[in-house]
A and B are shown apart, each in its own frame.
Chain A
Amino acid sequence: MTQKRDISIKIGGEAGQGMKVISTLLGKTFSRRGFWVFTYQDVMSRIRGGHNFSQIRICSQQVSNISSQLDMVVCLDKKTLDLHKDETQGPVLYDKDFIKKNPPPGDKYIPIPFQKIAKDTGGDERMANSVASGAVLTLLGMSMDPLYELLEEIFKQKGKKVIQGNKKSARAGAEEVKKVGQKRHFFKLKPENKKKRMLLTGSEAMALGALASNVRFYSAYPMSPATAIMEYLASQQESYDLIVEQAEDEIAAVNMAIGTFFSGARAMVGTSGGGMALMVEGISLAGMTETPLVIVDAQRPGPATGFPTRTEQADLFFAAFSGHGEFPRCILAPSTAEEAFYLTSKALYLAEKYQSPVFILGDQYLNDSSWTVEEFDLDKIYPDEQGFLSKKKLKELKPYQYLRYETNSSGITPRIRPGTPRQVLYADSDEHTEEGHITESAEIRNQMVNKRLSKARGMNNELAKPVIYPQQMADIYIISWGSTLGIVDEAVKSLKNEKAKIGYIHFSEIYPLRHDVIPQDIAQNAKLIGVENNASGQFLRLLQLETGIQVKNKVLKYDGRPFKPQELADQIKQESGGSS
Chain B
Amino acid sequence: MTAKNDFQSSDPIAWCPGCGNFGILNAVKKALAELKIKPENVLMVSGIGQSSKLPHYIKCNTFNGLHGRLLPVATGAKIANHDLVVIGEGGDGDGYSEGGNHFIHAMRRNIDITYIVHNNQIYGLTKGQASPTTDKDMVTGTTPEGAYVSPERPLAIAVASNCSFIARGFSLELDHLADLIKKAVSHHGFSLLEVLQPCVSFNKINTFQWYQERVYKLEEKDHDVSDRTQAFHKALEWGDQIPLGIIYQRESKTYEDRKELTDSVPLVSRKGKKDKIKSTLKEFY
Q: List A residues at the B interface (Cβ < 8 Å).
A: 31-32, 196-200, 204, 208, 211-214, 216-217, 219, 236-243, 245, 247-249, 251-265, 267, 281-282, 285, 289, 373, 375-376, 378, 381, 384, 400, 417-430, 435-438
User: Does B39 belong to the interface (CB within 8 Å)?
Assistant: yes
Indicate if B119 sits at the interface (CB-CB under 8 A). Answer: no
Which 10 residue pairs across A and B have the least CB separation, nearest first? A259-B76, A263-B80, A256-B76, A255-B72, A418-B61, A259-B77, A259-B73, A248-B105, A260-B76, A265-B80
Contacts of B278 in A (CB 8 A): 378
A208 contacts B268, C-beta separation under 8 Å? no
Q: From the candidates A265, A282, A423, A427, name the one contacting B40 in the complex (CB within 8 A).
A: A423
Whether the Cβ atoms of B11 and A437 lie closer than 8 Å is yes
Cβ-based interface call for B128 (8 A)? no
The smallest beta-carbon distance between B161 and chain A, in angstroms, is: 12
CB atoms of B83 and A249 under 8 A apart: no
Known: A264-B268, A427-B62. A435 touches B10 (CB 8 A): yes
Check B65–A258 contact: CB distance below 8 A.
yes
A417 touches B81 (CB 8 A): yes
Q: How far is the CA of A211 from the CA of B280 in the complex (A)?
A: 10
How many chain B residues touch the partner (CB < 8 A)? 55
Within 8 A of A (CB), among B226-285: 258-261, 267-268, 270, 272-274, 276-278, 280-281, 284-285
Is A429's CB under 8 angstroms from B267's CB? no
* Cα A424 to Cα B66 with chains together (Å): 20
**CB-based nearest A residue for B276:** A239
Highest count of chain A CB atoms <10 Å: which of B72, B76, B81, B104: B76
Tally of A-B Cβ pairs under 8 angstroms: 200
Considering the chains assembled together, what is the distance between the CA atoms of A381 and B61 in angstroms?
A: 32
Residue numbers in B under 8 Å from A424 (CB-CB): 39-40, 59-62
In the bound complex, do residue A259 and residue B80 qualify as a contact, i.e. CB atoms below 8 Å apart?
A: yes
- CB atoms of A418 and B260 under 8 A apart: no
The residue on A at minimum CB distance from B53 is A438
Q: List 27 A-B contacts (CB under 8 A).
A: A204-B284, A208-B277, A216-B268, A217-B79, A219-B76, A243-B258, A243-B267, A248-B102, A259-B73, A259-B77, A260-B77, A263-B81, A263-B268, A264-B268, A265-B80, A267-B76, A267-B80, A375-B281, A381-B274, A418-B43, A419-B61, A422-B40, A427-B64, A428-B56, A430-B64, A435-B10, A437-B11
Residues on B with C-beta less than 8 A from A429 are 48, 64-66
Interface string of B74-114 (1 = CB under 8 A from A): 11111111011000000000000000011011000000000
In the complex, what residue of chain A is closest to B6 when comparing beta carbons?
A400
CA distance A267 to B71 in the complex (A): 17
Residues of A within 8 A of B66 (CB): 255, 281-282, 285, 429
In the complex, what distance in Å separates the CA atom of A245 from the CA atom of B255?
11
Residue pair B65, A419 in contact (C-beta under 8 Å): no
> Hey, which chain B residues are within 8 Å of A435, CB to CB?
10-11
Asked if B45 lies at the interface with its beta carbon under 8 angstroms from chain A, I say yes
Question: Is B41 engaged at the interface, CB distance under 8 Å to the other chain?
Answer: yes
Provide the bound-state CA to CA distance between A485 and B267, in Å: 38
Report the Cα distance A195→B21, complex, angstroms: 69
Closest Cβ of chain B: how far from A194's Cβ, in Å?
Answer: 13
Q: A426-B56, A429-B48 are in contact. Are A285 and B65 (CB under 8 A)?
A: yes
- A-facing residues in B10-24 (Cβ within 8 Å): 10-11, 14
The answer to whether residues A255 and B65 also contact, given A208-B281, A424-B59 and a CB cut-off of 8 A, is yes
Answer whether A236 and B280 are a contact pair too, CB < 8 Å, given A198-B285, A259-B73, A417-B268. yes
Closest to B268 in A: A265
A437 to B55, CA, bound (A): 10
CA distance A200 to B88 in the complex (A): 42
Q: Is there a chain A Cβ closer than 8 Å to B216's Cβ?
A: no
Q: Is B208 in the interface zone, CB < 8 Å from A?
A: no
